[in-house]
Amino acid sequence: MSSQDVLKNASTLASYNVLLQVMFRVLTFLLNAFTLRFVSKELIGVVNVRLTLLYSTLVFLSREAFRRACLSGGSGKNHSWRQIINLLWLTLPLGVLWAVLLVCVWLWLLEVPDPQTVPYYGPAVVLFALAGVQELLAEPLWVLAQAHMFVRLKVVAESLAMIAKCSITVVLVVSAREWGLYIFSAAHLLYTGFLVLCYAVYFIRFLGSKEAKKKSFPFHRVGDLLPCREDGEPLVDWTLARLTWSFFKQSFLKQILTEGERYVMTFLNVLSFGDQGVYDIVNNLGSMVARFIFLPIEESFYIFFAKVLERGRDVKSQKQEEVAIAADVLECLLKLVLVIGLIITVFGYAFSHLALDIYGGSLLSNGAGPTLLRCYSCYVLLLAVNGVTECFVFAAMSQEEVDKYNLVMLALSVSFLFLSYMLTWWAGGVGFILANCLNMGLRILHSLLYIHHYFQSSQWKPLRGLLPSPLLLLALAISAVVTAVSESVFCCDSGWLLRFVHIGVGAVCLLGVLVAVLLTETRLIQFVRTQLLPRYRKKHT
């Protein structure tokens, strides 16, 4: 497969992933707004912080390193798919081990919520861990689908699973509110079960079909997807196994950085369960666009960079055509996420209070909620840049560089936990966001230095993508001032008529910013049209 084909498939995957994340977040957004009116904020805090942390920790530590390693360096071309599948099945026993350890910690070492306010905590911990182990059953199929660019499979599977989860949650919240945490446990088990079922059904139908033969798919029967040894070959590829171990050490630290505030809230009790619920709702609301756009782009273009670049080799040792495409894509991606991040930062400041008031009423808009969301709007800009820079760095690093970076991650993890604890005592929930900003800034600095050094001896300068046009910066500055004044005059305790005036002012300012983008960022617009919009690309190819 040529680099252009890989880019096309990665772009299609990113586009579909963006649509998928939009649907997920919209459904979750509506579901949270609905449940806020039926259950207590303490119950939401336990579900969205503590139990979700248990699930995400189990799943991330069990599979992330395997995904990174098995999708690197053109897997299946430089490595045996039989050995890759055998390696991927190790995620299941690893997941069982993590499930046992984490359940023991969550039940016996952490503070147990009041059973009157949050009933059935113990069974819920076990069920959330079981849901994580259940999802790992589909891991070999997920990697196969990603490596062969089965873009629609992920969209359909996760869409059906999310719809099933939201449906059962709504039904049980309305009809069986007394079930407490059983409601959310059942919904999560249903979600992971649907994922496994969809992947299994797809591959059962796909294997041995004409389409599989046409694509030269490496397996022909369902039994081939189970672990087994081929004659004359080791059970697993030990090169990939060592790379997996390197990524595992890194993923452990990355999980602490990613979910650091939840670990601090869970283990150090710096916020009550109710305050945790409010913080998590604001955090989810603030990260919606980051999850809509930035995370799918990072996941999809990591695959692109990993397939186009040869890991651990410098620019001069790579195919120059491949490097040119990678540099061009990196520059455009940096410009894209920077523009989106700046828009979110500018307009998030002036519309945080109104957004929370519409979403959750006075429960969220009074108190620290608006300040939390304003700070998070600034953090989103750092999230945007970090996602793209790290996806390139992790795809280009050699195993030795990955091991060295683990030491950097260790230092960042320790400093983040310390900063989170200290800043939270000083500034409450805002302290978590400030600590995240500081650590994200350091991660971006490391990635920028690596990219600068990587391309230093070449003609390509992809970091120019971080320099927006002067006209765009002027439009953003004017919009920031105008919308801030509009909020103080028209919002948010003066009735809906004046609120609509404030919204109208914001819409006009946003239109002006978009016009500035269209006039000055023509290369970016062309990249979005040709690579990130499937319908447009299909029409012009």
Q: Which amino acid is at 401?
A: E
Q: How many CB atoms lie within 10 A of CB 155?
A: 16
Q: What is the pLDDT of residue 21?
A: 61
Q: What's the CA gap between 442 and 236, in Å, rounded? A: 36
Kindly state the average pLDDT of the residues 126-143: 94
Q: What's the CA gap between 194 and 133, in Å, rounded? A: 14
Burial of 187 (0-12, 13-18, 19+ CB in 10 A): buried
Q: What's the CA gap between 184 and 257, in Å, rounded? A: 26
Q: What is the pLDDT of residue 483?
A: 92
Q: How far is CA 274 from CA 47, 74, 118, 363, in A?
A: 11, 47, 11, 11
Q: What is the pLDDT of residue 536?
A: 39
Identify whether the C-beta of residue 343 lies closer than 8 Å to the C-beta of residue 380: no
Q: What's the CA gap between 481 and 204, in Å, rounded? A: 58
Q: Residue 115 phi/psi, 5° resolution?
A: -65, -20
Question: In 3D, which of 329, 438, 343, 308 has the Cα closest to residue 388?
Answer: 329
Q: What's the CA gap between 341 and 303, in Å, rounded? A: 23
Res. 1: pLDDT tops 90: no
List, for residues 299-331, the tens digit of each pLDDT value: 778 878 888 888 777 777 777 888 888 888 899
Identify whether the C-beta of residue 533 lies closer than 8 Å to the C-beta of residue 341: no
How far does CA 214 lie from the centroid of its chain? Answer: 33
Kindly state the average pLDDT of the residues 380-405: 86
Res. 539: pLDDT tops 50: no
User: Using 50, 70 and 90 to split pLDDT, how confident is the model at 12?
Assistant: low
Tell me the pTM. 0.69
Burial of 483 (0-12, 13-18, 19+ CB in 10 A): buried
Give buried/exposed letters for 307-317 (b at 16+ CB in 10 A, else e): bbbbbeebbee
Contact residues for 157 (Cβ-Cβ < 8 A; gap 6+):
194, 195, 198, 199, 202
Which helix (H) or strand (E) is 196 found in, with range? helix 181-206
List, for residues 331-358, the tens digit of each pLDDT value: 999 999 999 999 999 998 888 888 888 7
List, for residues 54-87, the tens digit of each pLDDT value: 999 999 999 988 888 887 754 445 567 888 888 9
Q: What is the pLDDT of residue 534?
A: 52
Q: How many CB atoms lie within 10 A of CB 163?
A: 14
The encoded tokens of residue 537 equal 């690309």
Res. 429: pLDDT tops 80: no
Give the start-end residues of each E strand in 229-292: none
List, for residues 273-296, the tens digit of each pLDDT value: 877 877 887 877 777 766 667 877
What is the CA angle 52-57-62, rounded to 5?
135
Q: What is the pLDDT of residue 500?
A: 87
Q: How far is CA 96 from CA 92, 99, 430, in A?
A: 6, 5, 36
Q: What is the pLDDT of residue 25?
A: 64
Q: Which amino acid is at 359?
A: Y
Res. 140: pLDDT tops 80: yes
Identify whether the C-beta of residue 538 lies closer than 8 Å to the C-beta of residue 516: no
Name the one residue in this structure whose structure tokens are 């004044």. 485
Q: How far is CA 275 from CA 30, 49, 78, 359, in A?
A: 20, 11, 50, 17
Measure the CA dihedral 230/233/235/236, to 10°.
-120
Share of the chain above pLDDT 90, in %: 25
Share of the chain above pLDDT 70, in %: 89
Average pLDDT of the chain to the nearest whole number: 83
Res. 363: pLDDT tops 80: no
Kindly state the average pLDDT of the residues 87-96: 94
Res. 455: pLDDT tops 60: yes
